[in-house]
Amino acid sequence: MCGIIGVASKKEQAIPMILQGLKTLEYRGYDSSGIAYFKENQIVITKTKGRISDLEQQINFKETSSLGIGHTRWATHGEANQVNAHPHQVGKITIVHNGIIENYQELKAKLQENGYSFLSSTDTEVACALLDFYYEKTNSVTQAIQAFIHEAKGSYAIGLLCQEEPDTLYAIKKDSPLIVAASNDTNFIASDIPAVLEYTSSYYVLEDEEYAILTKDHITFYDKGGKVLTKEEKHYDASLESPNKGSYPHYMIKEMMEQPDTIWKTMQPFLENGLASLAKLPDLTKYDRIDIVACGTAWHAGLVGKYFLEEYAAIPVDVCLASEYRYKRLFLSPKVLVIFISQSGETADTLAALKRVKEEACHTLGIINVKDSSIARVVDQVIYTKAGCEIAVASTKAFTAQVAILLLLALQAAYQKNLMEEKQVLAVIEEFKHLKDHLTPLLAKRSEYQKIAKELYKQEDIFYLGRGLDYDLMMEGALKLKEISYIPSVCYAAGELKHGTISLVQEETRVIASCTNPLLDPKTMSNLKETKARGAKIYLITNNVELTKDKDIDSVFLLDQTSEFLVPFLVIIPLQFLAYKIALLRQCDIDKPRNLAKAVTVE
Ligand code: M6R
């Protein structure tokens, strides 16, 4: 989590540049922030609890600097307060850090024995002390960095200043993302490229256990043994970026409204020339089984993918939480494909699971949104979703883009296996091409969502129910609600309710459900009636007009009748809107919900 940035510039503009970068990185963590810069050969540190706007109030903008580092924090070790905020300074070394030093207790004890004492509860202060310890021993920052890489366990992206080198910025990286970027007059380090996109789109990727030395004129890369490395300069395609909210009050609603375009951009390369384009997708029919590995919303997209791959292409699929998969016993072989889904491409658990799978003899496929991200670089093959930059912590357009790719994979595999005829596949492709016509009116029903949100926003809990594909989508709807509105939302497979959870249903309990499968709808409706009999109020999302006539249903969102391949895109829109509108009525910080961060780069 946490965002870091560093600047070595020919101009005296480092302070505003760092603050601007931190604002872009704020989605990575926002409980405290800080900045350190050289001013007349002395390091000045300002840090505070709260947002970048709080930090700005404490900065002396009359001061100028050409070199410094900044940090926006998502607390791992120690509460969010000024002392624990970064940068940390020990002796002659000052650092900002993203990641977790796993052996920090052991290192702390060793450093204490050597006379170091600590002010904060952070692992970062220990990392800083370790670097200072070796610097004092060797009088060389590079030797201190090499010793640090050798001794520190865990993950780190570090920006480092040394009191005795006012013209130099150091960067160190392992298992946390860090890029190095260059413009005409300034060199940067940053957690991601959008943080510096205002100044440059050209960048280099630091790999694990590498470090870099930056001055205003030069950048040099090294491996952990100090050997100079030559790196490929990359160029970021900013055409997909939408770095501001435009006329929208929040990134989340803007990103929701972009979905007709982002789904289409994602699908288009595989649809424009009918079956020939679809054949550009990887051949899944070679595999006996697929494991899909992801976290959070990406995991829900995986569940939707499983439904279509199994139902239409008859390929058995397991969908696994990356945090479990990375430690469980795996049953892999060359006949198993492992698909990793991630918006950020940096999620620590997903990346760790991938690294584990890479040691086995099986193929890996990534469905990733952020180009050249860590996961995208490690998988054997990557398909990029074209959702563009997703800033709101609550994922919306990345989810539908991930689902889009999975649906296309299922469609292609079903066709290859003769489980769908050519004309059926072409009919689905035709429907995808007109998806926008179904989505646009749904996105426009804002007053309907607002009306229901008003009925729900004071609830202490809300139930989400469904069966099959509807259950998968309800899980995503429930996650959206709890994430941004803080209302506990329980999602259950409708048939499972009476095995325990129905005990929670009482007078005025609110139940949101979807019914989009004619075979399962009567079953789900029976379960809904069981809740109604106990006093629940029911809000139904369905494409089945008959169900709208049922007097037990209190409110209905009626969707267009389409092929099942379009259903996930339609069901999810009311769910995203309800979460958004309810959070708005509860006056929550929608784009930056409490305790969360966009990219979860720690375990
Ligand atoms: O970047 P990733 O897709 O790997 O992120 C996975 C989850 O952390 C993410 O989907 C999270 O659940 C979202 N905040 C949900 O809206």
Q: What single string gives the DSSP state of each residue in 541-594?
A: EES-HHHHT-TT-SEEEEPPP--GGGHHHHHHHHHHHHHHHHHHHTT--SSS-T
CA dist., res. 5 & res. 14, Å (int): 11
Q: What is the DSSP letter of 597?
A: -
DSSP class per residue in 60-87 = -TT--BSEEEEEEE--SSS-SSTTTSSP
Burial class for 503, CB neighbours closer than 10 Å (0-12, 13-18, 19+): exposed
Query: Class for domain 441-592, per CATH?
Result: alpha beta
CA dist., res. 277 & res. 169, Å (int): 47
CB 438 within 8 A of CB 560: yes
Residue range 173-188, pLDDT digits in tens = 998 999 999 999 999 9
Facing residues of 170 across strands? 160, 213
Ligand 1 atom nearest 398 alpha carbon: 3
Q: How far is the CA of 296 from the centre of ligand 1 (A)?
A: 5
CB 95 within 8 A of CB 127: yes
Question: Before 177, cis peptide (omega within 30)?
Answer: no
Q: What is the DSSP letter of 98?
A: E
Alpha helices in 122-181 (DSSP H): 123-138, 141-151
Whether 320 is catalytic is: no
Confidence grade of residue 242 (pLDDT, cut at 50, 70, 90): low
The region, left, alpha or beta by phi > 0 then psi within -120 to 50, assigned to residue 508 is left
Apex 471 CA angle, 582 and 541, nearest 5: 55
Q: How far is the CA of 198 from the centre of ligand 1 (A)?
A: 26
Could you tell me how many residues make up the chain? 603
Residue from 74, 346, 390, 395 to probe ligand 1 pocket by mutation (most atoms less than 8 Å from CB)? 395
Confidence grade of residue 241 (pLDDT, cut at 50, 70, 90): low
Ligand 1 and 258: CB distance under 6 A: no
Using a cut of 0.85, tell me whether the model's pTM lies above it: yes
Whether 515 is catalytic is: no
CB 69 within 8 A of CB 169: yes
Ligand 1 and 72: CB distance under 6 A: no
CA dist., res. 148 & res. 174, Å (int): 11
Q: Which of 352, 339, 234 lies closest to 292, judged by CA?
A: 339
Count the neighbouring beta carbons within 10 Å of the beta carbon of residue 421: 11
* Phi, psi angle pair for 360, to nearest 5°: -100, 165
In the chain, list all ranges with CATH 3.40.50.10490. Answer: 244-433, 441-592
CA dist., res. 464 & res. 540, Å (int): 10
Q: How far is the CA of 15 from the centre of ligand 1 (A)?
A: 31
Confidence grade of residue 441 (pLDDT, cut at 50, 70, 90): very high
Ligand 1 and 395: CB distance under 6 A: yes
User: Does the pLDDT value for residue 236 go beyond 90?
Assistant: no
- Residue nearest to ligand 1 atom 14, measured at CA: 394
CA dihedral of 437, 441, 444, 446, whole degrees rounded to 10: -140
User: Does the pLDDT value for residue 409 go beyond 70?
Assistant: yes
CA dist., res. 82 & res. 50, Å (int): 9
By 3-state DSSP, what share of the chain in percent is helix, strand and coil, each rounded to 5? 40, 25, 35
For residue 219, the model assigns a pLDDT of 97
In the chain, list all ranges with CATH 3.60.20.10. Answer: 3-241
User: Does the pLDDT value for residue 435 go beyond 70?
Assistant: yes
Residue range 152-164, pLDDT digits in tens = 999 999 999 999 9
**Percentage of residues in the chain with pLDDT exceeding 90?**
86
CATH 3.40.50.10490 fits 244-433, yes or no: yes
For residue 240, the model assigns a pLDDT of 52
CB 86 within 8 A of CB 78: no
Average pLDDT of every residue of the chain: 94
Ligand 1 atom nearest 600 alpha carbon: 8
Residue range 285-316, pLDDT digits in tens = 999 999 999 999 999 999 999 999 999 999 99
User: Does the pLDDT value for residue 361 go beyond 90?
Assistant: no
Residue range 40-83, pLDDT digits in tens = 999 999 999 989 999 999 998 899 999 999 999 888 777 888 88
Q: Which of 404, 349, 413, 402 lies closest to 375, judged by CA?
A: 349
Fold category of 3-241 in CATH: Glutamine Phosphoribosylpyrophosphate, subunit 1, domain 1 (3.60.20)
For residue 244, the model assigns a pLDDT of 77
